Structure 1
Amino acid sequence: MADMERPGVNAARLWASGLATAVVAALLAIVGIMIARGILDVPVLAPKGEGVWGNANTFTYALLSGAAALLATGLMHLLVLAVSTPRQFFTWIMVLATLIAVVLPLTLTVEPGAKVATAVINLAIGLAITIIINSATSAALVVRRDRGATDAATRQWNQPPNTYYDS
């Protein structure tokens, strides 16, 4: 009887990667705001008078960026469990969601520099989340083999049956 393989995911590894991605996304939001306000002198999220560090909106933007990474991790986990090509669907969903996040600030009636700066920050955050979670999923995917299955047709007499987890 051939091995019975079931796809699976190392949830602890995937979610640890998702948490690390949330930190990266939050820090990327802060760095983007600092560059826009401090170097380019472009207001993002708050009036210029708020300074390089901004106000509570900077914290909210960073927090929402981290939350987006955690939502993306949850989406990937669901896709791994439910569809045949999870990374392909994840990439398409994330690219389209990122595109919405890039286009949305461009439709607002605010200073053009603020529109572009916010769109660029959203693009960087969306791409970072997409790339990191997609990459981390490769390390978190596992193929589980049923312990009772054997590969007798190809196994030599002196080899034990395969009862391990491939990573």
Structure 2
Amino acid sequence: MTGPSYYGDRPAPGYHRDDRRGGPSRPPVDAGRLWATGVATAVVAALAAVVATLLVRGVFDVAVFAPRHAGAWGDVTTGYLAAVAAGAALVATGLVHLLLVTTAQPARFFVSITLLVTAAMMLLPFTTGIGTATKFGTAAVYCVIGATITGLLSAAASGVAGADRPGSR
């Protein structure tokens, strides 16, 4: 059997008809909910960056993103890291949106891309001359940020695709 089965004049659940071509089209993306989720993810990613830095600096006493004398909170670099994490979450939201409207299996592509970017960021400190503990501490902070963004946005991708109207899910 090819194509979707129809029930009267309505398509089967999960199948949308494109009246211009008479064939199937992509399920619509609820862009408003997606970008609201992206902003919320940006806030969580920024907080995750601060908490991970506090853990590595304050609990494990590893000087990451600031000299050791800057204390557990570090210096202004911690704020920059939080801002970059928030920006990365917004860029990732744009990537999710692009993948939702252009690819099959968008969540799989998104997770693959973000995991590879996270792995690259985690490997970056190991290409420098900083101390071994600082390398691992920096990689751990990047891992927390990447996992936060990947987890939240990949879960949201299925919730915003296929919605005919806001609040339909």
TM bucket (normalised to shorter chain) is: 0.7 to 0.9
Q: Deviations over 1:46-90 (max 9, x none)?
A: 110111111110000010011111110000001111112211111
Q: Does 1:39 align with 2:21?
A: no
**Matching of residues 148-163 of structure 1 within 5 Å:** none
Alignment partner, residue 64 of structure 1: 84
Gaps of 5+ in 2: 1-8, 12-16, 18-23
Alignment partner, residue 83 of structure 1: 103
Q: Does 1:50 align with 2:50?
A: no
Give SS of 2:66's match.
Answer: coil
Give SS of 1:9's match.
Answer: coil
Alignment partner, residue 26 of structure 1: 46
Tell me how far apart the structure 2 counterparts of residues 166 and 113 of structure 1 sit (CA, whole Å).
49
Tell me how far apart the structure 2 counterparts of residues 55 and 35 of structure 1 sit (CA, whole Å).
15
Residue 143 of structure 1: how far off its partner (Å): 5.0
Q: Which has the larger radius of gyration?
A: 1
RMSD: 1.8
What stretches of structure 1 move > 4 A for 4+ residues in a row? none
**In the alignment, is the contact (CA less than 8 A) between 1:142 and 1:166 conserved in 2?**
no
Alignment partner, residue 162 of structure 1: none
When the two structures are superposed, what TM-score results if normalisation uses the length of structure 2?
0.82
Highest relative contact order (Cα 8 Å, sep 6+), 1 or 2? 1
Tell me how far apart the structure 1 counterparts of residues 89 and 132 of structure 2 sit (CA, whole Å).
27
Aligned residues: 148
Gaps of 5+ in 1: 146-164
